[in-house]
Each structure stands twice: as C-alpha cells, then as structure tokens.
Structure 1
Amino acid sequence: MKKLTPVFIISVIIASAFILWGAIAPNNLHAVTSHIQGFITSNFGWFYLLAATSFLVFALILIVSPVGRIKLGKQEDEPEYNYLTWFSFLFTAGMGIGLVFWGAAEPLYHFHYPATSEGLEPTSRAAAGVAIRYSFFHWGLHPWAIYSVVALSLAYFKFRKGSAGVVSATFEPILGDKINGAIGTTINVIVVFATIFGVATSLGFGTAQISGGLSNVFRFENSAFLQLMIILIITILYMVSSQTGLDKGIRILSKANIYLALFLMLFLLFSGPTNFIMNTFTQTLGSYIQNLVRMSFQLDTFNPESTWVEDWTIFYWAWWIAWAPFVGSFIARVSKGRTIREFIIGVIAVPTIFGALWFAVFGGTAINLELMEGLDIMSVIEDPSQGMEVALFVVLQEYNFGLIMSGIAILLIASFFITSADSATFVLGMQTTNGSLNPPNSVKFVWGLIQSATAAVLLWSGGLEALQTASIIAAFPFTIIMIFMIYSLVRALRAEKIPPRKVKNYD
C-alpha cells in the first residue's frame, strides 16, 4: 500500500472507535446520538428545509442559465458512458436498496398515519392519494438536487479545472492553498465519516430485508446468525467485484440491477391493478407538482405536539445530505464530458420519474390491496417478528408467481447490496487517496472490510439505529459545506467563457 494520507488514517481511527462503541455499549451510543439528532432536528428543521429547497432552486437555475452549455471537462470531451450505463450508475448509487425497501412500506405507512398537516382520516381515500404524494416528495426532486450539487461541483473542478477529486478541492476559489492543510483534511474526514456510516447502515437494512424475505417467503429462521451469513457471503461477492474496477464489476452489476428492477416493476404493473396504478401515477404526479412549494416549506409550527415532519421530511433531507458525499462523488466520477445542463437534467429528472413510477406501482398496489380488497398488510409489518422489510414480499405473494417474484426481489436486493458496497469502497478509496480516479485495490479492500464489519457488529449488538443516527448528525456540518461549495462553484463559473450556442444548419 502506498503512503497513507492523513484523511485515511483519521477516518479509519474514527470508524473503528464508533464500531467499538456500538459493539460494547450500543444503548449508550444510541442514547447519545439520539439526543444530538433530536436537538438538531427540533431546532434546525427549518435550516434543512430551506437548504434542501435552495439546492433544488440552484440546480434548476443552472439548467436555464447560459453556463449550462459548459462541459464537465474540456469543451471537446465526449461522455465516457452511454445513457443506459450512466442512468444505471445513477440509479444504483443513489437509492437502489432504499426504493426496494420502502417502495410498498412507506406509502402504506403514510396511508395509516397521514401527515398531520393534511388533517386526513387514516386509511381514507384522501389519505391514500396523499400517502403516495409524500412518497414522491421524499424520493423525488429534492434528494436528486442535493446529489447533483455535490456531484456537479466535484465533476467541474476535477474534469474542467484538473483539481483533485476530493470535496476539499472544490473550495480552491475561496480558500486557495488552505485546502491542502487542516481545513481541507477536516472537510474530507467529514465526507468519509458520512459515507462510511451512511452506507454501513443501508447495508444493515439491506441485510435485514434479505433476511426478512428469506424468513417470510422461504420460512428460514430470521436470526442474527442468518444475517451474519448474508453479510459474509455478500461481502465476499462485492470484495471480488471491487477488485475488478469501475468498468467491469460495478458497470455490469449496475446494468443487471436496472434490468431486474424493471422486470419486477413491470410484473407487478401488469399483474396488479394496472389501471389503478397508472391513474395513481398520473394523478399523484400532478398533485406532487401542484403542492411542491407548500410541502417544501411545511413545518408543524402550530402543532408542536406533532413530530411527523421531523420524523419523515426533515429526517429524509438529513439522510440524503449524509449520502450526498458518497453518491455525489460516484456520479461525478462517471459524468465526464457532459454539459452542465445535460448533467443536471439527467441526474434530477430521470431518477425522479422512475422513482415516482416505482412508488405508484408498489405503493399503489399495496394500498389497493387494503383499500379495495380488504387485506390488512399493515398488521403484518407492525408485527414485532416481521417489520417494514416484509411489506414487499407480502404484496408480491398476493399475485401469481408470487414465490418466484419474491425470490427475484431477494436477488435484486442482494445485487443492489453488492453494487452499493462496491461503489462505496470505490468512493472511499478516492476520498482517502487525494482523489485518485482508480484507487488502489488494497485501500478499497480495507474500506470494504470496515463497511461490512460495521454493519455486522451493529446488527449483532443492536446498535444499527444508533449508527444511522450518527451518520445523519454528520449531515449538519456537511449542509454548511454544501452551501460554501455552491458559493465556490458560482465564483468559478463567473470566470468562465461561455461556449456559443450551437446553431443547427437545416440546409
């Protein structure tokens, strides 16, 4: 292994300390992190709402601005990857496991426990529409705008300006050489901290869903031993994949994920209540656009007893910001040669529409089974021995070939698990080797072991929720970092010479 960077050493020490804390005293870790998170969300919820919406507005302004013609690279550079490969990278890195986990569960939860600001009767027809709409909202334009801001800054400075591919390098216009000192190291350590714990907790939830699916569908005992075996097997698979590099392992698996996800979604679309699903998608998309501004600024200010916004919207915005260093770094790495306008439209619009259709299919089907068919799915997932992770499998088993499709769903989750972990080791390798576009296998190997060890130890000790909370705490300082990233990017773009508009010749 080449000379280790300070970011690598400090990050490994912090990660190891938290793993030990979670293994030895999970209740104490949970209590401390929950207290800090509760303080932040209670007192700075407005800050998260304003920040997330501002990131979206900034991204939309860049689309219509003349700077949208600037390329992420030299003006003659062409994209490294075609659209299908690029979109598969975006989808897999951005929220693959999450969509599978929450596709049926979140709309169903909002259906039974509607947003307090809406004043709706639980399980009513009105609550059904709002439930899908809030799922669109939480997984739509805002999170992808958050990702796009980080990814755009990294890609612009790396490929256009030749800077190192680390977050601290995006601050050069405002910090100068200080990015190479303690300030730059601190920024990059925060990035690595958020990435390690954000990805590790998602891997833990992915493990829980695979285990829950095997238990619910194939009657395996849902035990800690089963979960540890799942982590062990998938760790071996993604460690093998990570050694093959970006253009082999991650690229092949990302495309496989897209095909599997499309197959699963199309199966339920045509096996389930097709007309209801498409009506739900169309109506809810309109309702989402119509209510976007109101939801973006919605706080339960005059209903202090309610914590719905804190528990869902503010939690999600913090969660996406915590994930932004990882997803943003990965998206930046695969986006060389695209114009700023093409980049932002691709990163925001395509995944948002796909996610909306996903929730309309899975969430709409789950709600239809309860609203129209009288099935009580919520009682199953609220059973302490089951949980949210089984919602998808309960829905699939209501249709023909349900057992086979549940097996495909488990395969899809495992594939997302492998690709997310593989992508994360790649990003952690980049961020701890001064932005190397092809980090050494030895560094990726270390981060792969740390991620799996973190998920395994905390699943075993019950500290997974505490670590998730810890990663969200990291979102608070990173939100401030993102604000200054935008300021730095704007300063750099102002100094750019805008390329002329391409004029088509119709002769």
Structure 2
Amino acid sequence: MSKRSNTVFFVSLVISLVFIAVGIIIPDQFYKKATAIQNFLQDKFGWFYLLSATIFLVFVLFLAFSKYGRIKLGDADEKPEYSTITWFAMLFSAGMGIGLVFWGVAEPISHFYAPPAGEASTPEAAQLALRYSFFHWGLHPWAIYTLIGLALAFFKFRRNSPGLISAIFTPILGERAEGPIGKTIDIIAVIATIFGVATSLGLGAVQISGGVSYISNIPNTFMTQLIIIGIVTVLFILSAQTGLNKGIKYLSNLNIILAVALMLFLLFVSQTNFIMDVFVQSIGNYLQYLPGMSLRLSPFKPSQSGWIQGWTVFYWAWWIAWAPFVGTFIARVSKGRTIREFILGVLLVPTIFGALWFSVFGGAALHLELFNQLGLNKVIESKGTEVALFALFDQLPFSSIMSVLAIFLISTFFITSADSATFVLGMQTSGGSLNPSNKVKFIWGIIISASAAILLWSGGLEALQTASIIVAFPFTFVMLLIMVSLYKAIASETVRNKS
C-alpha cells in the first residue's frame, strides 16, 4: 500500500471508529446533534440539492447526445468485460435494490395518505403518489450515479489514472490532485460511502426483521436486527473474499432473477390490467411533470415545504451519499462501453425497471386502498414502515410464498450491496487498485456493519436518514467540480483525436 493510500485508509478508518465510539457512548446526544445539523441543511440548502441533481441530469444527457458520445471507455478496439445482462444486474443490485423492496409499497401508500398537494385518499392522490415515486427513483438518482461512474471510468480506462475520485480532478488541480486536497476528496468519498451504504443496510436489516416478525412469533426488536446484521455480515464478507467475477457477479444475476420473479408473481395474482394501466399512465405523468417536479419548492406555501424536505431533499442527499460507492462500482464493470452506451444504459434501464416495480407493488397496494378500503397506513403506523410489503401480501393469494421470497430477496440484495461496498472501499483506500486485498475488504466490511448497527441503536431509521443528509452535503460540491473537470478532459480528448 502506497503512502497516499495509507493516509486515506487510516484517516478514514479513524473517523469511522470515532463515529462508532460516539454512537456507543452517547447515542442520545449524538442523535440530537445530528438531527439539528440535518434540519439546518434541509431548511437552508434544499434548493441546492434540487438544483444540483437537475444540473447533473442535464449534463449527462448532453454528453450522451453530443459528439462526445462516441468516445469509448478504453482502447478503440476494447470489448465490454461483462455481458449486457450481467452489467445491468451488477449496477442495479449495487444501486438501489434494498431500497426498492423497502419502499415499493410504503412510499406510494405514504404519499397517498399524505400527498405533496391536494386532498389525501383520492384517485388524484394515488396518481400523485406514483408520479413522485417514479420521480424519486428515476432519472435524477441514476444521473447522479452516472456522472461519477462515467468520470471514474473515463479517467481509469481512457487515461490510465488510478481508480480514485481525486484522479478525476487532475485537469483542474494538476499535481495538487495527488496532494492534501486530493486526499481530502478521497476521504470525503470514503466516509460518504460508509454512511450511505450503512443507511441502506440498516433499512434492509429492519425490513428482514419486520418480515420475519410479521410471519412468525419472533419480535421485531433491535436485538433481532443486530443478529440479522451479524449473520449477513459473515455472508457478505465470505462473498467478498471470492472477488468480483464470482460472488458479486453470481449474486447480482440471482438478485435480478428473484426480483423479476417476485414482481411477475405479484403482477399476475393481483389486478394485472389495473397495474399495467397504472404503469403506462404514470410514465406519461412522470415525463409530463418532470421539469416542474425537478425544481419544486414551496416558498409561497411553507406548510408544504416539510414534505419536500422529508422526501425529495432526503432522497437527493441519500443518492449523493451513495454516489461514490455506486459510481465507483459501475465504473469498474463498464470498461469497453462508449460514453453514449454507458449513459443511456445506466440512466434508462434502471429507471424503467423501477417504474415497473412501483407500478406493480405500489399499484397493487393503491388498488386495495381505493377499492377495498384496506387501511395499509394503519398497519404501517402500528407495526412500522418495514411491514408494508408483507401486509400487502397478506391480502393476496400465496402470501406465505411471496413473503418468504421477499425476505430472501432482501437478504441477497443486502449481501450484494455490502459485498460491492467493501470492494469499492477497498479500491478507494488502496490507491485505486482494481483488485483490493481481502484484508482491506474485511476491515471495511466490519466498519460498514458496525456503522449500520450504531445508527439503528442511536435513533433507528431517522438516524440513518440523518447521517445520509449530513454526509452528502460536502460531497455535492465535489460532484459539481467533477462535472467541470470531466467536461474539460473529454473536450481535450476529442481535440487530441482530431490532431
């Protein structure tokens, strides 16, 4: 390990251990202070998150359809390292698998009973619920991932730079990208990765615990969640030791098979025609209202600002916190793709799949709410957001089979996300090595799991959300600079090719 790698590794490790220690010693004070910081950022900088995410989307779309889209991420005759299906499976499993399963029912139902505008529990509220679910899991988050992934892949495979976030800044920082400024950027990326992934793993542990509790007599307590984190930690660390081309590749393909199977199963045992009608109409609504939703704030209706801060601003911060992790991983598996192929693939395929997912799970739940007065919101209020999916299954045929399949799917997503995260953290703290050592991956696996456990213990889901909002703020500035540096590098590459 080089001196530079040592610095990033040890400073990041110390910061993580300090965080864990504070969470153990003074959990209540930690949660209160973190919440105060979160509220300040959401209240004062919500506009900044919304504007930044929209700029990222416009920028990557511009690159895709510009003359730069033909540039290959690698040598001119480079072939993609992975098949298209495996590539989609790997980026999707790392990107937001656990979140989709957790929020597939819970988010549309939450918006249905507490919409961003208008009257609750109406057909209009149902349409709005799905439109915003599409929005929160659609083009904007994947544009955030696309920007970092493209920048890393371009500099790594086109310029033979280290696979580090700091290496992207060479066009604007020069040699300083390898000095203290570059190290600081890499440390911020590592910390963002740790807490962004810990947020998702905490959600996964909570939902597995909630599902097991819902279909059995096992209580849904912190101790149950801790045991689940412990078991999955052992599994994903074992998987991480096998390398990228075995554990992560095979599990990613398994995730997609299980996710599609569960989705099709629910589609055909529920209201199939209604769900497909919902899918088609909601796609149209999403595209129609996309510009307005992208920049929607409530300066003239302060009563609605809480909804935007609690949902859209939180999501944008969450995706930005995940960006170093998902971007690095997507870059690692995208050698040989053109810029246009990379952008359109990363943007469109997961967005369409996510829209179909919310149409099936959210649509089935909304149908029961509108026409059968099921009252899923009461179940969520009494037993927690994590049981929304299982409460839906309870009202449909083959509920036990779907519940068991869902728990297994969440578990495999959990393992894949953590496995991918240890790989990425290993790269970021080993000088950008494409094959980090098992020892380094093991250390970061333990840190991620401990962070998830501490966040849950100190404040549950709210603490997880708080951590993401805080960590994402400084990294948003890093991403804006990445955009400038990437454009400068791509433009000079085109000039070189013509000369």
Provide the residue aligned with 1:504 in structure 2. Answer: none
Q: Distance in 1 between matches of 2:367 and 2:458?
A: 38
Equivalent pair of 1:167/1:188 in contact (CA under 8 Å): yes
Provide the residue aligned with 1:399 in structure 2. Answer: 396
Give the TM-score taking structure 1 as reference length: 0.96
2:252 corresponds to which letter in structure 1? S
Provide the residue aligned with 1:231 in structure 2. Answer: 229
Q: 1:289 aligns with which of 280, 287, 290?
A: 287
- From the superposition, tell whether residues 458 and 491 of structure 1 become closer, same or farther in structure 2 (CA, over 3 Å): closer
Q: Distance in 2 between matches of 1:473 and 1:312?
A: 15
Q: Distance in 2 between matches of 1:325 and 1:177?
A: 22
Q: Distance in 1 between matches of 2:210 and 2:88?
A: 29
1:7 corresponds to which letter in structure 2? V
Q: Deviations over 1:243-283 (max 9, x none)?
A: 00000000000000000000000001111000110000000
Provide the residue aligned with 1:308 in structure 2. Answer: 307
Report the 3-state secondary structure (helix = DSSP H, G, I; strand = E; otherwise coil) of the residue aligned with 2:302. coil
Q: Distance in 2 between matches of 1:235 and 1:476?
A: 28
Q: 1:214 aligns with which of 206, 212, 216?
A: 212
2:70 corresponds to which letter in structure 1? R
Q: 1:189 aligns with which of 180, 187, 190?
A: 187
Superposed, which structure 2 residues align to 1:12-161 within 5 Å?
12-116=13-117, 120-161=118-159
Q: Deviations over 1:37-82 (max 9, x none)?
A: 2111111111111111110001111111010000011111110000
Provide the residue aligned with 1:444 in structure 2. Answer: 441
Q: Deviations over 1:304-356 (max 9, x none)?
A: 23311111111111111111011000000000000000000000000000000
Report the 3-state secondary structure (helix = DSSP H, G, I; strand = E; otherwise coil) of the residue aligned with 1:438. coil
Q: Deviations over 1:157-181 (max 9, x none)?
A: 0000000000000000111111111
Q: Distance in 2 between matches of 1:217 and 1:463?
A: 22
Moved more, 41-50 or 217-226: 217-226
Provide the residue aligned with 2:337 in structure 1. Answer: 338
How far is the alpha carbon of 1:196 from its aligned partner?
0.5
Equivalent pair of 2:171/2:489 in contact (CA under 8 Å): yes
1:445 corresponds to which letter in structure 2? F
How far is the alpha carbon of 1:465 from its aligned partner?
3.2
Equivalent pair of 2:226/2:453 in contact (CA under 8 Å): yes
Equivalent pair of 1:23/1:463 in contact (CA under 8 Å): no
Report the count of equivalent residues: 496
Q: Deviations over 1:230-254 (max 9, x none)?
A: 1111111101000000000000000
RMSD: 1.5
Equivalent pair of 2:2/2:431 in contact (CA under 8 Å): no
2:165 corresponds to which letter in structure 1? V
Report the 3-state secondary structure (helix = DSSP H, G, I; strand = E; otherwise coil) of the residue aligned with 2:162. coil
Equivalent pair of 1:197/1:468 in contact (CA under 8 Å): no
Equivalent pair of 1:66/1:498 in contact (CA under 8 Å): no
Provide the residue aligned with 1:325 in structure 2. Answer: 324
Give the TM-score taking structure 2 as reference length: 0.97
Report the 3-state secondary structure (helix = DSSP H, G, I; strand = E; otherwise coil) of the residue aligned with 1:208. helix
- From the superposition, tell whether residues 272 and 500 of structure 1 become closer, same or farther in structure 2 (CA, over 3 Å): farther
Provide the residue aligned with 2:265 in structure 1. Answer: 267
Q: Deviations over 1:10-54 (max 9, x none)?
A: 001100111111111122111111111211111111111111111
How far is the alpha carbon of 1:458 from its aligned partner?
3.4
How far is the alpha carbon of 1:463 from its aligned partner?
5.8
Equivalent pair of 1:23/1:458 in contact (CA under 8 Å): no
Q: Distance in 1 between matches of 2:465 and 2:179?
A: 30
- From the superposition, tell whether residues 168 and 493 of structure 1 become closer, same or farther in structure 2 (CA, over 3 Å): same
Report the 3-state secondary structure (helix = DSSP H, G, I; strand = E; otherwise coil) of the residue aligned with 1:103. helix
- From the superposition, tell whether residues 139 and 97 of structure 1 become closer, same or farther in structure 2 (CA, over 3 Å): same
Q: 1:421 aligns with which of 404, 418, 422?
A: 418
Q: Deviations over 1:403-457 (max 9, x none)?
A: 0110010000000000000000000000001100000000000000111122223
1:472 corresponds to which letter in structure 2? I
How far is the alpha carbon of 1:461 from its aligned partner?
4.2
Equivalent pair of 1:67/1:498 in contact (CA under 8 Å): no
Superposed, which structure 2 residues align to 1:374-385 within 5 Å?
374-383=373-382
Equivalent pair of 1:193/1:471 in contact (CA under 8 Å): no
Report the 3-state secondary structure (helix = DSSP H, G, I; strand = E; otherwise coil) of the residue aligned with 1:275. helix
Report the 3-state secondary structure (helix = DSSP H, G, I; strand = E; otherwise coil) of the residue aligned with 2:372. coil
- From the superposition, tell whether residues 36 and 344 of structure 1 become closer, same or farther in structure 2 (CA, over 3 Å): same
Equivalent pair of 1:26/1:463 in contact (CA under 8 Å): no
Q: Distance in 2 between matches of 1:168 and 1:388?
A: 38
Equivalent pair of 2:30/2:458 in contact (CA under 8 Å): no
Runs of 4+ in 1 over 4 A off after TM superposition: 1-4, 498-501
Q: Distance in 2 between matches of 1:442 and 1:468?
A: 30
Q: 5+ unaligned residues in a row in structure 2: which ranges? A: none
Report the 3-state secondary structure (helix = DSSP H, G, I; strand = E; otherwise coil) of the residue aligned with 2:220. coil
How far is the alpha carbon of 1:467 from its aligned partner?
4.7
Q: Deviations over 1:123-179 (max 9, x none)?
A: 001110110000000000000001000000000000000000000000001111111
Q: 5+ unaligned residues in a row in structure 1: which ranges? A: 502-507
Provide the residue aligned with 2:455 in structure 1. Answer: 458
Equivalent pair of 1:70/1:499 in contact (CA under 8 Å): no
How far is the alpha carbon of 1:301 from its aligned partner?
0.8
Q: Distance in 2 between matches of 1:407 and 1:449?
A: 27
How far is the alpha carbon of 1:363 from its aligned partner?
0.3
Provide the residue aligned with 2:167 in structure 1. Answer: 169
Provide the residue aligned with 1:352 in structure 2. Answer: 351
- From the superposition, tell whether residues 470 and 461 of structure 1 become closer, same or farther in structure 2 (CA, over 3 Å): closer
Equivalent pair of 2:27/2:457 in contact (CA under 8 Å): no
Report the 3-state secondary structure (helix = DSSP H, G, I; strand = E; otherwise coil) of the residue aligned with 1:291. helix
Provide the residue aligned with 1:505 in structure 2. Answer: none
How far is the alpha carbon of 1:500 from its aligned partner?
9.7
Q: Distance in 1 between matches of 2:287 and 2:409?
A: 30
Equivalent pair of 2:422/2:442 in contact (CA under 8 Å): yes
1:373 and 2:339 are equivalent in the alignment: no
1:134 corresponds to which letter in structure 2? Y
Report the 3-state secondary structure (helix = DSSP H, G, I; strand = E; otherwise coil) of the residue aligned with 2:303. coil
2:332 corresponds to which letter in structure 1? R
Q: Deviations over 1:161-220 (max 9, x none)?
A: 000000000000111111111101100010001110111121111111000000001232
How far is the alpha carbon of 1:499 from its aligned partner?
10
